[in-house]
Amino acid sequence: MKSTSLKLADFKDSIFGVISRLARDHQAVNLGQGFPDFDGAEFMKDLVTQKMAEGHNQYAPFHGTPNLRTEVSNYYKNLYQLDYDPETQVSITVGATEAIYLVLTALTNPGDEIIVLEPFYDSYVASIKMSGGVPVPVTMHAPDFSIDKAELENAITPRTKMIILNNPHNPSGKVWNRDEIQMVADLAEKHDLFILSDEVYEFLVFDDAKHVPTATLAGMKDRTITVSSAGKTFGLTGWKIGWICANPEVSRVCRLVHQYVTFSVSTPMQEAVAEGLKQLPQYIPGFVSVYKSKRDFFYAEMKKLGFEFACPRGTYFMMVPISEKTKLSDVDYAMKLIKERKVATVPPSAFYLKSNEGSKYLRFCFAKKEETLKEAIANLSLEA
């Protein structure tokens, strides 16, 4: 029998799937994979039922329903003063993960270099490799996960095509400030690079943090490809409704790939999200309040257990240092906690290619019910 594709020769199961499987096998509280263990917005579920009853159940236009593309365009204009033509610059995808794959496949030629800021969401590197590109890591240095400008610029070569920027940042919970984004933008402009700006956690920012979309910086709209997701915003990750906002030519080639991968996205869910986006001003404050409460509770409890780290200002993740607790690596300590303390976390060394900084941390997801978080803390207290 002939062999399978060499492009996949070094691929492994996603760390998220591995950890979730181990959590099930050992009946551990799962604070690993990044999804809520409670349901999302009730009004959104009512809307999708309504849309199905209204007959929105056949294929949607491959680039997205007109209603959803219009409402995505409207919210970028209303919130960020960004003008995207819904006909030529907004494309609906099967979640942000497909959006990332489409962008990289559509823009990457074999041998093109794509800069990934580590720690990174693992699909970035997989999509780069499947597109024939070469991932080039630049480290966001702990504990504040900052980027050194000289280090970033030194990673840029004549083959560099794009920088991937994730803000707010998974897994660190960092929210980039305007000056930090401007530094990356200046280098992108200087070296004529695209920026793929993954902003799926754009509304999950806390305290005095503000989300600054990369495309809002002067001169950056045409070279920025913005990706976001209704699944994160409405706490309905299983709906898998994402989008790409980009200039018309980038949008055109992303759509060419999309039509041959999934063709189109769930019609009733697109129509429900279109209605839901109209209600963002009323919805977002309560949404943020719920997650801030969970963050505050879990952070305070982790501090009581002796974990010392800065409170994250975005997303629903915490990168927690472990060196004061153990001499084990992140992978070995994560396995120990799953088996002995019945708490599953993600070892973040899976999100690095170059640095070993990830081996000193574990990533916890606090997007969980109160009883889930309390059970996890009780289990971890046996370790303290």
Q: Is the pLDDT of residue 127 over 70?
A: yes
Q: Is the pLDDT of residue 10 over 80?
A: no
Q: Is-above-0.85 flag for pTM?
A: yes
Give residue 5's pLDDT: 81
Tell me how many degrees the CA angle 242-129-131 measures, rounded to the nearest 5: 65
3-state SS of 225-242?
EEEEEHHHHCCCHHHCEE
Query: What architecture (CATH level 2) is domain 6-40+283-381?
Result: Alpha-Beta Complex (3.90)
Long-range CB pairs of 175-180 (<8 Å, 24+ gap) are: 175/205, 175/209, 175/210, 175/211, 175/313, 175/314, 176/212, 177/212, 178/212, 178/217, 180/146, 180/147
Considering the chain, tell me which residue range(s) the CATH 3.40.640.10 domain(s) occupy.
43-281
Q: Which residues pair with 318 in a beta bridge?
A: 364
pLDDT digits (tens, 9 = 90+) for 41-94: 999 999 999 999 999 999 999 999 999 999 999 999 999 999 999 999 999 999
pLDDT digits (tens, 9 = 90+) for 141-167: 999 999 999 999 999 999 999 999 999
Q: Does domain 43-281 have CATH number 3.90.1410.10?
A: no
Give which of 237, 255, 216 is closest to 93, Cα–Cα. 255
Alpha-helix runs per DSSP H in 305-364: 330-336
pLDDT digits (tens, 9 = 90+) for 329-346: 999 999 999 999 999 999
Give residue 383's pLDDT: 59
CA dihedral (162, 142, 312, 237) positive or negative: positive
Cβ atoms of residues 210 and 225 within 8 Å: no
Considering the chain, tell me which residue range(s) the CATH 3.90.1150.10 domain(s) occupy.
6-40+283-381
pLDDT digits (tens, 9 = 90+) for 276-299: 999 999 999 999 999 999 999 999
Q: At what angle do helices 95-107 and 248-261 cross, to 10 degrees?
A: 110
Residue 63, classed as helix, strand or coil, is coil
369 φ/ψ angles, rounded to the nearest 5 degrees: -60, 155
Give which of 232, 208, 241, 195 is closest to 98, Cα–Cα. 241
Give the tokens for residue 140.
Answer: 């966001």
Give the tokens for residue 334.
Answer: 């994560």
